[in-house]
Every structure is written in C-alpha cells, then in structure tokens.
A and B are shown apart, each in its own frame.
Chain A
C-alpha cells in the first residue's frame, strides 16, 4: 500500500470546520473533450481538496464540470493538465490497470442508477469489490454496515426483487464494504422518492460522522447537498467557492448566483 493515513498536503481549508487530513486533491486540473473548434474545456483549472472523514457535496449547473471532476478524482478518467491525488498517490502516473486496482482497493462508488449486478444477490453485490480483488471480507464490518442500512433481511434477494431505495442502500453498503479511502456518490438519490432519498443521505452522513468515512457526492439538489459537511460549487470548470455546514437557503442562493454568472 502506497498511502498512509497521516499524509497531509499544504492545502488549507478555511471556515468553521477544524483542520483535517486531505483524502483526495485536485490541483489546477484541466480536462478537454474534443479537438480544435469543437474542443470543450470541461475542467479549466479546477482545484479542490477533499477533507478526510467528511461528507463533501459538489454542486454546479449542468456543464459546470462537476461529474468530470468527480470522475477525475475517482480515477475513472485521466486529466490533461494538473494533478490528482488520492492520499499521496498521483493518479496521473498510474497505468489503466493500476488505476483499476487502486479503485478496487481505495475507492467506493454509488451511481444514480444501475448500481448492482443483476445476477448477484444483495450480499454478493456488497462484497463484489472484495471478491474481485480476491480479498476476504471483514464480516464484522459488513454486518455492522448491513445493520446500519437495515438490509439484514434483504441479503439473499436479487436486485430485481428490491425497491429503488433498497437498491441504493445496497450500493452504499458495497461502497463502504472495502473500507475505501473515499466514497464517490453521483446523484445517489436522483432516482428515488424523497423519503427513500432522505434515508440514503442520512446513511451517507452517518457513515462520515460515525465511521469516519470520506464521502464525495455530486448533486444538483440543494436538499441533498444540505446533508453534507461542506459544499463545493463549480462553474465553467472551476471551483467557484465553498460553503461549510450548509443550509438549504444558503445553497440555493449560491446556486442562483452561479446561474446568474452563467448568463
């Protein structure tokens, strides 16, 4: 393992939150799609530090680059300029295979939909990253998160037999199962009704606060973002500001500002 928990970088966070370790860092990241006239700078010098053990939300209007930034931070995609670190590992130096292995070991994912392999049971889906890596699951830990997410009686079911909320909870459990350094959630409640969505968000917040799990969530929903410890706002491929201990009205105001700037 190339990373240690005590690594810090020179980046500082200001505001009302205490200083913490940095779980992941994007520095001056540029990502360009296409070439020539049709080239789009999806990220244009984005810098964002993800504090360890916190729940961070990333918001921004469509096309602001929030998903691209998340993919870059998660090692799903490469960047054209700048640096992306998970812990002290520079993703830019890794081969595709090494990035896959790093994801398997250190990153968890929750997507908006289609999170689960339909042929595997809930229990099998939860330990999938571990089994793919040939690692043994820490059963006590799995039991703990399964209990926390209220999935104990759903473990033998296949995804098709679960409700949308249950499916997302299984996805959260899977993301947590390998005790990753960082969990990325991409609009995890986008397809859920509000009650199921609130439950999932509650679990994510709980995981950060009680279990010390670093969580990054991309969303466009201010109500969802309000569950986070901090919100980073993106516009035009740059981080346009951050908000700590956010409340819904503040978030909406900042978003409105971004929208205005867009025009």
Chain B
C-alpha cells in the first residue's frame, strides 16, 4: 500500500502539466467558495460587533412596543416615549440609571453641500459612557445648543475640522459648530454612515420630538438580576412599552442588518456552485483522458498483479492530491480575494462593512471538503473505468485507431428521457399552467439529461455546426472530425461552457424582460410629467414630508400626489404595501380597476392587485388581516381590485390610503411625489421651479419618466452586473477546459499530427486546425448555452407573467455580444494548444508509439 501511494505521488507529480489546468479549475471554485464565506462571515462579525458595541454599557432598553422589530432587513420606526416614562423607569428599585436617548435621521451639510451616505445618516443625542457608544477622538462633547460632534470617518473624508460650521438637516435645519470628533469602538465611525451627535435638547428640537425620547437606556444597579429587573420595569410602565435586554436588541438589530447580507450570500453560493459544477466537468474530462492515455500503463500494473481496486485507488489518489493542493491554494487565494469581492459588490452598489477579515475553521473545512469532494467525485467515473482495464491490453499494440468515448446505450436512453422530461416541463410552463417550481425541475432534468445525452448527439451537431469549417479546406474538416470523433470529451467540454453561457443568457434575458415590463407598465400607468424621488433608499430617509408641500403649492404645478411604502407581516412572511392619496392619484395616473373603486380606500379599506386577490381567494367585501409594527393586527376591508400591471407600476399588490398609513406607521417619509405640470407652463420651467422648491431636500431628484424608470431598474442592473461579472469566472473555468482538453487531445494525437506534418501540412495549417476545433467546441457551447438560457428565461418570464406584468424581451444586442465574446474566447482557448501542435517535432511525432 505504501508502494502504491508512492506511485500515486510520483504519477501526479510527473503529470503535473496535464493536471495543472484541472488544479486551476478546482482552485478557482474553492477560491470563490472561500471568498464568499470569508466575506459574509466578516460582514456578519462586523455587524455583530457594531451592535454589541452600541449597547455594551446598557442592560435594558425601553422602547415603544412594536409587533415586529424589522422587515426585509430594515428596523421599524417606533413612537417616541413621553418624558414621564423615564421617571417611572428610574423609580423602579434596582435601576441605577435610566437615560433617555434620542435618535433619528439627520443629514450633515458642509460648505453648502449635503453629505448623502450610502447607509444611514444618524442624528443622536450625545450620552456619556456607559450609555453612549461613541468616544471622543478629538475636542470635547457637545455641551450647548449650537454644538455638534461628528464621527471621525466622515470628518476625515469631508475635511471637517474642530471649529467648522456644519448644517444638520432633520425635521428642522440648524447650523452647528463642530466641537469634537468621535470614534465608534475601535473604528473611526460606522460603515457608509454619517453620525451627528448633539445635546439631548438639540436632538429633540431637530427631530421635532418635544421632550420625548426615542428609547430609554437602563443600567442596572450592582448585583441586581437583569431578568428580574426587566419584569419589574415592564410591570411599572405597562404593556404599551417594550423592555428588552440590550443584548437581545443588539442581536435583533444585527439580524436585521444581516438579512441583506444573506441575500448576497445566497447569490454568491449559487454562483460558486455553478463554478464548481463547471469545474467538475473539466476534472472528469481530464481524468478520463489521462486514464485513456495511460491504458497501457494501467494494464502493465494489472499484469504485474495490481488489483482493479488498487488501480482505482491510484486514480482516486491522484484526484485526492490534486484536490488537496487546489483546496489549499484556493482557500488561501479566497481569503486574499474576499476584500476584492467586497469591492466588487461595492462597485455594483452592495455596500458591506469594511474591517478585518474573519477566517473561521468552518470556512477552511468547507473549502477543503468542497475542493477535495468535487475533485474525487468527478474522478470517480474515470477511476472505475481505469479499474476495468484488462491486463491483456498491455499486449495490444496500439490504441490509436480506437474510437474513444462512444456513447453507451443506457446512458443515452436515460439522457434522452430526462431531456424530454425537461423539454416537456418547459413547454407546460410556456403553454400556461406550470409554475416556477416546475420550471426549476425542468431545468435540472434538462441539464442532467443533456450531460448524459451529449455524447450521442454531439457528432451530428458538430458536423452540422462545422459545415462552414469543412468547406474551408482539409484543416477545417479535420478539426470538425476530430471534435466529432471524441463525442464524450467534446460534449463534456462544450457543456461546461454551455452551462456558464446559459446562466449569463438566462440572467440577461430575464433581467431585460423584467426591466422592459417595468418600464412598459410604469409608462402606461403613470401619466405624471415629473416624479420627485429620493436618490436614497426611502427606508434611509426618502423625501421629507415638506418636499411634497413645497411642490404642491407651486403655481407651475397643476397637481402633486405622493406615494409611501411600508412593510407589514402576514404570519411569518413580510409583504410591502403602497399608500396613496385617492383624491389626487387619478390625476397623475391612468389606473384600471378590475372591480370596485380606488377612492374607496379613503374609508380605511384596501385595494388588491387582481392576482393577489385570486391567490388569497379574496373578493370585494372580504377583509384582509395585516400585522403592522405599530398597531398590530388590523383587519382591512377589500374595496377594489386593480389590474396587475397597474399594481406593478405602484410597486406592490396592496394599496391603502395615506390616512390609513398614517394611523399604522410611525414612518413619515414619502417615496415619490408625482407631478402634473399646470397648463401653459413649459416642462423645463416647471422642472426648474420644482428643483428650486426642493432646495432644502438635498436627496430629492426631479425625474422625467425615463429617469424614473431607470431609477427603478437600477437595482436590477446592479444585480445583473454583479452576477454577470462573477459568472464570467465560470466561463473562464470552462475555457480552461477547452484549452486543457485540446492540449491533452494533442498529446493523444501526436502520431496523427506528425503524419499530417510529414505529408505536407504547414505549421500555419495545423494552428488553424486546432483553433478551428476550439472554436467549434465553443460554437456548440454557444448554441446549447444561449438556447437553454433563452428558453428557460422565456419560461420564467411566462411563469412570472401570471402574477405580475412580465413579457419576454430578447436583448439581441447583448446576446450577440455574449456569442461574440464566447467565440473569441474559444479562439483564445485554442491558441496555446495550437502553438504546441504546430511546434511538434515531426520526427518525434511519427516515432512516438
């Protein structure tokens, strides 16, 4: 056994050239997995630290009660606490200190420009430790009304020094003098956040809170039992208020913030899985070629007394070595790349906290398990084939004329059945009744089916696709025939690339279709001339209420109507709703009611999108139970049904009135204000007037319809951009597969190539031939990949079209770009093997036995 292992190591090292690309493929996949894990672990750790630091010195937090803490990663706003609650808390025995804390949103402006961070813009009352988590880095704490402390990170970035004048813009706007710079924990501030710290009275005035507080921070007396104290405080102030341990508050805040990272995590893992799957194809292919080339050697081993199991172990041993080496390198590279991945996500608008990387043992275990697992599993098939090599094959003279890798019957039949099932599933979805779930199953069936069926159909497909090559002379024909001759190898190589291209085409077509559908339904339903929207996520500020008032009072504006969004809970699931002004909305939109009337929402009812009503089995007169954070469960009568595409234009399938919203939500920022210009006023004049009126709402932007649509689609563009960038990695691995397969096939075909050179094929013709083969494999992948991608995107759009407005749009230009890039990449993949083939020494080639 030791001798066997020795042989394995020697073999692997001797064949390192052949295995190098395999190693690289595994390495890239493991890098991806490790990078994703490190990135998400780091982000989560940083968020945990951040929220733990924020409440480190406090035992209990008293807040207004809410039905839920957060929805879709955003913490809900709560009603402020009256001052007398603080006194009541303070009176509870065991409370050492009860400090009212004021917090809200306030934009910092400096030198006439407002700083708009990607994250929150916090306005807090300055509380000394242990309640306040900010510590002074320079200057002193705010002591008087006109003073502010700014976080050191923002100060550095925007050149704010001690003594500078800044404006803080909340419910009111004030000019304040910077008297200190603060840090948070060990950092200079919070990621993508601006922080303004002022005295408590200043904070209350800026946020228009009167003498109320946002929450009360309680420090327990020495020796007091925190749990018991919690019950005591709760009993003293009543169920209207919520008393939580500060650690729970921190955990829940961190959990909310982590929700957003978990979306990214799911996406990264899906992409890593795709990269690994492509890598697996490449590994299986490489091992299968290497085993074929070593048939003679394996037979000699068998003849010398090695058992089939030993031979199999020797191949798997090689895979294990490759997997270990690749995992080690990939894990290392992944850690190094995590920061790069964070920058990439940032470049596409997904901001993650910045800080030291967290590498957990779990990350390393997963990296090695995935790397070694994928390699060994992929090598299993070839290893079994190696074990079945008979000793007599050592005596066979030449296997050069053997036709390698013909498709087996059983495999072909199973493949054909699965592919047919997949196609049937897709047809059902396209024809109407199928759901996205059916589509997913169909996709899996098709991919597995094609992988099995590939070898059987590849020769015909290659000959068909290779027609133009064949017409271009003997090298072209030979390229085509050589690709068709090894169908198993060609189909595995092509499928790996096809898979990557399918994902890219799928995402592109789906993204474009959704964007187009959004644009169509929006432009049809919204008839406003301009839309005022916040450049920021409305959860982080949106439009201040006065923006709407300023705009609606302008003489250039005929009518202005505003929209708000809110989250509510339906059992465990979170839903979104739209709040509208039923009086003005019809003047800036063209909405079609399927049943009932929109203006009926004025009486506290709700209008549902038609498909939502159908799904929930609700009709006019029924009631819908909705849980709001502020008011708990409310039963809203259904008063109307709205056409689906119009509901999509309003962003959600649930429409209530602004008054109803006001009653159930603490949030009071507008998402959009639709504006209809008054008669006789030019659009440009109106726009200028609106912009002037919005001078004190720096995040507000006046958009025409095209810009409004673009704003809505920006998120899709970001996700699409990030996903495509990461999928390119998959394509890169697949291209390495083409290079690898060709390089190995050249070794295998040395004699044939030598013969061709001897009878007069020039080096140029030979390079042409190998490159032709590479492009042909790429072409097969393009046809299969883009075809699959578009077909399943069409299926997905159809399935989605049943619940929202979605019609298929084929982005021909972008798809052609994908095709062109893949073809050129195929050509590039063939460059190296082509050069190697052309450099083959004729004599050695024909002498090779």
Binding site for B on A (CB under 8 A): 71, 76-77, 96-97, 100-101, 103-105, 108-109, 111, 113-120, 128-129, 131-134, 159-160, 174
Contact = CB atoms under 8 A, between A and B. Distances in A.
A118 B400 CA distance: 9
B401 A117 contact: no
A249 to B, nearest CB: 32
A132 B403 contact: no
B265 interface: no
Interface of B: 398, 400-401, 403, 473-475, 477-478, 481-482, 484-485, 751-752, 755-763, 765, 842-843, 846
A115 B760 contact: no
Given A118-B400, A128-B474, A101 B756 contact: no
B765 A76 contact: no
Contacts of B478: 117, 119-120
B761 A100 contact: yes
Contact of B762 (A100, A116, A120, A131): A100
A104 B760 CA distance: 4
Given A71-B843, A100-B762, A133-B760, A115 B400 contact: no
A82 to B, nearest CB: 18
B752 A117 contact: yes
Nearest to A127: B474
Contacts of A160: 401, 403
Contacts of A97: 762-763
A53 B760 CA distance: 22
B760 A119 contact: no
B752 A114 contact: yes
Contacts of B842: 76-77
Given A71-B843, A76-B843, A119-B481, A100 B763 contact: yes
A101 B761 CA distance: 8
Contact of A109 (B474, B751, B758): B758
B341 to A, nearest CB: 45
B762 A101 contact: yes
A128 B756 CA distance: 9
A2 B336 CA distance: 63
A132 B762 CA distance: 8
Contact of A103 (B401, B475, B482, B760): B760
B481 A129 contact: no
B214 to A, nearest CB: 78
Contacts of A109: 758-759
Contacts of A134: 473
A174 to B, nearest CB: 7
A177 to B, nearest CB: 10
B401 A132 contact: no
B485 A114 contact: no
A131 B763 contact: no
A221 B758 CA distance: 24
A120 B478 CA distance: 8
Contact of B759 (A104, A118, A159): A104
A115 B762 contact: no
A160 B401 CA distance: 6
Given A101-B762, A160-B401, A111 B474 contact: no
Given A113-B398, A160-B401, A160-B403, A120 B757 contact: no
A111 B401 contact: no
B68 to A, nearest CB: 68
A132 B752 contact: no
A100 B843 contact: no
A105 B403 CA distance: 31
Contact of A128 (B481, B482, B759, B843): B759
A233 to B, nearest CB: 23
Given A115-B755, A119-B485, A120-B481, A159 B401 contact: yes
B768 to A, nearest CB: 11
A131 B473 contact: yes
Nearest to A134: B473
Complex A-B, nearest 6 residue pairs according to Cβ-Cβ distance, in ascending order: A104-B760, A119-B481, A131-B474, A114-B751, A129-B759, A129-B760
17 contacts: A97-B762, A100-B760, A101-B760, A104-B762, A108-B759, A109-B758, A114-B752, A117-B478, A117-B755, A117-B756, A118-B401, A119-B484, A131-B474, A132-B474, A132-B756, A132-B761, A160-B403
A128 B760 CA distance: 9
Contact of A118 (B485, B757, B758, B843): B485
Which one of A100, A101, A115, A159 has the greatest number of beta carbons of chain B within 10 Å? A100
A106 B759 CA distance: 10
Given A100-B761, A117-B478, 15 more contacts: A76-B843, A97-B762, A100-B757, A100-B762, A104-B760, A114-B751, A115-B755, A119-B484, A128-B474, A128-B756, A129-B760, A132-B759, A132-B765, A159-B401, A174-B759
Nearest to A97: B762
Given A117-B752, A117-B755, A96 B761 contact: no
A76 B760 CA distance: 10
